[in-house]
Amino acid sequence: MEIKTMNSESMGRSNRLTILNLIRKYPGISRREIVDMTGLNPSTVTNIVFDLIERKFVQEGEKGFSDKPGKRRVSLLPSKEAATAIIAKIGIENTQIGLGYLDNFFESVYEIKTSSNFDEFFDDFGEKMHTLYKKESLRSKIMSLAISVPGIVNRNTISMEIVPHLGWSKIEMGKRIKERFRDIDIPIYLENEAKLSLMAEMYFNEEIDDFKDGIYVYVSQGVGGALLINGQIFLGASFTAGEVGHMSIYADGPKCHCGNSGCWEEYISIDTIVKKYEEINGKIEGTNFKEKFEKMISKSEKDKVAQDILNEMMHYLGVGVANLVNIINPQFVMIGGMGEKIPNAYIQTLKAEVKERALESATKDLLIMTSSMDMIQSALEGCTLMAMDEFLKEAIS
């Protein structure tokens, strides 16, 4: 068997990427802290930091007191202007389009209605996206386009394989964009919204910093998911890993958008929950299911019907989570998407359901929590991180 060793050039590149990513993750970090975290020689860290500053990837921040006599601590920050990406979160009802930066900040610039007619959607989406791309102040800085999708994607072909709630399938998004806008010559990335949301949580949520195995359950008008296994988001052979919403929990249950029957999402998706309430208690205020679900949660403080339906939702959520916990044995389960809005009292009900149903050894140290970001923030933050990670793999040499 051939043993491959890392040459000095590739090791230097790896060290530069490691240091830059530490500065991105911990803005304000000092060179001394980088030395302590990486074990690299102080002179190596200093040389790399100065190189990154010269190349405009990093800038020095405030100077403060150091624990070393006669030394001043200099904080290091990623340079926001070093790279920009166009980012987009395609939602079932609305789509956000904005800009993401190397310092991990993002801004939402446009919001448009998501038409189920893909050609209509693409006309509106393409116009807004292209307007950003052509903007004179951004043109030289935009490095890529990263898109969050509420369905299954093929990262290799840059295509949306299936977006069931919109009725889209086999759409070669990358090809469509390049054919319509021939001046666009940047990489295009697609990823599932749940995987991007987990990526954002892994980056910013200190509560799961030390965990290597977890499950992210994305509750919205469908139910998606992402799996963290041995510190990496697991993609699967054809990028469908984590589609927990299409796990059958009742063989003869209602027909799902995916074509199967009894899928988990048919019992816990927010449109299912809202429709159940409206069938019993009449219309809820709100222009879409997200607004109505939030209104239902607020009503549940005094509304017995809302309480009963949300408790039933926790029951079915617990059934699915127990199955996943028994199979994967994670350290944490995070409920995201609109699940971030679920009050703690209902999460306690979920925890009790999981503890009762799952194996005792699998739940002994299990942490069940809601996400730290809402569904728009987590997806757009994930798009930003994905775009910048891919950019730096090529840019750092």
| Positive or negative torsion for Cα 16, 87, 184, 182 | positive
pLDDT of 67: 53
- Is the model's pLDDT at 352 over the cut of 80? yes
Task: Give the DSSP H or E segment for 10.
Answer: helix 8-25
Phi-psi region of 197 (alpha: psi -120 to 50; beta: other; left: phi over 0): alpha
Domains of the chain: which residue ranges? 8-78, 82-195+377-395, 207-371
167 close to 161: Cβ distance less than 8 angstroms: no
Tell me the CATH number for domain 8-78. 1.10.10.10
pLDDT confidence of 105, banded at 50, 70, 90? very high
Closest CA to 269 of 221, 317, 337: 221
- Find the radius of gyration of the CA atoms of the chain: 23
For 149-205, the pLDDT digits (tens) are: 999 999 999 999 999 999 999 999 999 999 999 999 999 999 999 999 999 999 999
- Is residue 41 scored above 90 in pLDDT? yes
List, as one string, the DSSP characters of 209-221. TT---EEEEEESS
- At 9 the pLDDT is 63
- Interacting residues of 175 by C-beta distance below 8 A, sequence separation 6+: 158, 159
Kindly indicate whether the domain formed by 207-371 is annotated with CATH number 3.30.420.40: yes
Long-range contacts formed by 130-134: CB under 8 A, 24+ apart: 130/181, 130/184, 132/86, 132/97, 132/99, 133/86, 133/181, 133/183, 133/184, 133/186, 134/183
82-195+377-395 maps to which CATH number? Answer: 3.30.420.40
Q: Report the distance separating Cα 48 and Cα 42, nearest Å.
A: 10
Q: Stretch 376-391: mean pLDDT, rounded?
A: 97
pLDDT tens digits, one per residue of 306-338: 999 999 999 999 999 999 999 999 999 999 999
Answer yes or no: same fold for 82-195+377-395 and 207-371: yes
Handedness of CA 50, 54, 59, 62 (dihedral sign): positive
pLDDT digits (tens, 9 = 90+) for 229-275: 999 999 999 999 999 999 999 888 898 888 889 999 999 999 999 99
Q: Which residues contact 78 (CB under 8 A, 6 or more apart)?
A: 20, 23, 24, 27, 57, 58, 59, 102, 103, 104
pLDDT, mean of residues 76-92: 95
